[in-house]
A and B are shown apart, each in its own frame.
Chain A
Amino acid sequence: MHSAMLNDKQGQKTTSRHMQWSTWSLQRQLMTVVTAIGLAVVIGISLVFILRQNQTLKSQLEERAITTLISIDVATIDEIYFTNVDQIETIVTNFTEMSGIRAIRIYDADGRLLVATDDTTLGASLTNDPYAVTLLQIDSPQLEWRSDRLVAGQRVTVGNQVLGVIYVELSTSHLNNQLQISLLQSFVSAILVGIFGVVAVLFVSRSLTNPIATLVSQTRFIAHGDLTKPIYVQGGSSEITDLGATIEEMRHNLQKIYTELEQRVAERTVELKLARDEAIAAQRVADENSRLKSEFLSTMSHELRTPLNAIEGFTSIMLGGMGIELSSRAEDMVKRVSSNSKRLLHLINDFLDLSRIESGRLELIKEPISPQRLARKWEAQVGVLAEEKGILFTVDVNPDLPPLILSDEDALSKIAINLLSNAFKFTHKGQVSLNLQRVSNEWIIAVSDTGIGIPLHAREYIFDEFRQVDGSSKRLYGGTGLGLALVQKLARVMGGNVSLQSEIGEGSTFTVTLPLEIAEENEQGAVL
């Protein structure tokens, strides 16, 4: 019962602190379990021992009681037979001197008390005691355990004649003392076992948990990324040293892998850096090349134009009526020099413009421009060609066009002058017309002529560089073949395009379509 109670308590503890149990340190868990088991074992063994001892003591006492009964029987049988009370009393009193005998009573066959060594009022008659009554009927000795005593009684008989009853009370105090001593011994041994258990567990768990704690503190370095600290567990069970050794092996391998990885990263970084440096160097070279190309174009432009400008300047003076006397043949030749230098200048300009567009260096600006003024300017520039060839030249600016548009005047002029020059070049009679008009959110520059026309097959490549209809026309009409290519590229750069309608012998119409951007009225001041 004792152990059951203990187990019960333990059970309660376990359930109520179940959540904490798992969080307890290993040491605490071990200590609790080992102590509980130790105590349970000690208490269990003690209980069995005590019970058995109790049994032994009881049977010893019972034996003694019977022996005493028999001794008294033998000693007193004669005196009882003769009802010699005094003698009985003397003998019985002697017996009471024996340890553990509380009282001896002798009753006669009728159950009347003959002799009592204790307070006689208690057992004045056997009839007062239901136990004693049974004694008269039964031959064998009767024993009965009472709270603090063992009561034993036996009929005294001679042959079949019942003489009386011997009644003995034996003290159980000796027995109780013995039990108390045993309990005390068990209690002490339980405490000792408990203490021993705690100490033993402390010792064992230390040797168990210390290496684990060491392992934990050492592996913490690994957890924090420091792979350089070796793991070494001193003492501890072989499992823990095995664990330590395994972790150490793992750490060692990790460190190796990590070092290799670092090395490879470093190598790759160097490679990447090299590659990057190379790329930067290549970019630098490319930038430098681009800059040099740009510089080259600029220098070439200047260097080519300078001598041509000189030719143009001197021929203009010779032909400009500035008092230079030329024979008619000389004048003709100077004119040819002038016209060739103009062509060359034109070619250079077109070539440089194309180069600029193709290298993306053409910078377009947007400024307010009056289409009316532009048309007049172009008319003035090419009108002389019409006069020279005796061709009609009409210019029409449709009033649908806003008074000011946003565009790049240089680019527009290059487009228009190229188209007009071409038209005059290939038209021998009839007319050339320039038409500026609005078509919804676009506007067009259309140049029509009544020239030779362009054959169908040529329309695909007429906008390519250095392509004229055929070799013979190149000879017949001269020109560089750059003009239309420039027109198309400029139109596209400006967000538009150029299209062509033509009929052999009837003439051609080039239509440049450009996005229309209307300039604000207040920007009008910026024009002119």
Chain B
Amino acid sequence: MSKIPPDLLQGWDIVVIDDEPDSLEIARYILDFYGAHVHTATNGKEGIALVETIKPRFVISDLSMPEMDGWEFVQELKSTVYTKDIPVVALTAHAMKGDRERAIGAGFHNYLTKPLTATTFMDELLILLLDIPQLSDYLTL
């Protein structure tokens, strides 16, 4: 998996939501490198507005955030007809046991653990994306 094509996400709109600017910047930089258009928000509320206007291929959202956290965000997103089919991947720094099941139960497609690094982030993300039929077709492999 070490050789991921640099145009893997060519032209994809992706929304990343996190209250840590550094984290957003790292995600933006990596995803941008693989050709994606990255849109960022710093809380769930902004995220909802962004998702509604952008209609991204998928969303990466942190769980603990001010104003509206990741759990509320995914609940809100999944309750709206226009946005309910957009896959959301959770992002968390402290992966506790059972979090994966809890996240999937809450409506997340799956989750990624921090730290986001150039080496592990894309490997893990690719595995997740291949698992989502509506997205795997678009991957430029």
Enumerate chain A interface residues (CB-CB to B < 8 A).
Answer: 298, 301-302, 305-310, 312-314, 316-317, 319-320, 322-323, 345, 363, 365, 410
Contact = CB atoms under 8 A, between A and B. Distances in A.
A323 B23 CA distance: 19
B20 A310 contact: yes
Contact of B26 (A305, A317, A345, A410): A317
24 contacts: A306-B20, A306-B93, A307-B22, A309-B23, A310-B20, A310-B23, A310-B115, A312-B115, A313-B23, A313-B26, A313-B116, A313-B117, A314-B26, A316-B119, A317-B26, A317-B30, A317-B118, A319-B118, A320-B118, A320-B119, A322-B30, A363-B97, A365-B97, A410-B97
A319 B23 CA distance: 17
A310 B94 CA distance: 15
A343 B37 CA distance: 34
B102 interface: no
Nearest to B92: A302
Contacts of A312: 115, 117
B15 to A, nearest CB: 19
Interface of B: 20, 22-23, 26, 29-30, 33, 93-94, 97, 114-119
Contacts of B30: 317, 322
Contacts of B20: 306, 310
Nearest to A306: B20
A363 B97 CA distance: 9
B117 A305 contact: no
Contact of A316 (B22, B23, B97, B117): B117
Given A298-B94, A302-B93, A306-B93, A317 B22 contact: no
A322 B23 contact: no
A408 B29 CA distance: 36
Nearest 6 Cβ contacts at the A-B interface: A320-B118, A313-B26, A309-B115, A316-B117, A310-B22, A316-B118
Nearest to A341: B115
Most A-side CB within 10 Å, residue of B23, B94, B117? B117
Given A317-B30, A345-B115, 6 more contacts: A301-B94, A302-B94, A310-B26, A320-B118, A320-B119, A322-B29
A320 B119 CA distance: 7
A334 to B, nearest CB: 12
Nearest to A308: B115
Contact of B114 (A309, A314, A319): A309
A363 B29 CA distance: 36
A301 B64 CA distance: 14
Contacts of A309: 22-23, 93, 114-116
Contacts of B119: 316, 320
Contacts of A316: 117-119
Nearest to B33: A322
Contacts of B114: 305, 309
Most B-side CB within 10 Å, residue of A309, A313, A316, A320? A313
A125 B33 CA distance: 185
Contact of B29 (A317, A365, A410): A317
A312 B97 CA distance: 24
A240 B32 CA distance: 113
A162 B81 CA distance: 175
Given A322-B29, A322-B33, A313 B115 contact: yes
B118 A322 contact: yes
A319 B114 CA distance: 18
Contacts of B33: 322-323
A317 B33 CA distance: 10
Nearest to A298: B94
Contacts of A345: 115
A316 B115 CA distance: 10
A448 to B, nearest CB: 29
Contacts of B115: 305, 308-310, 312-313, 345
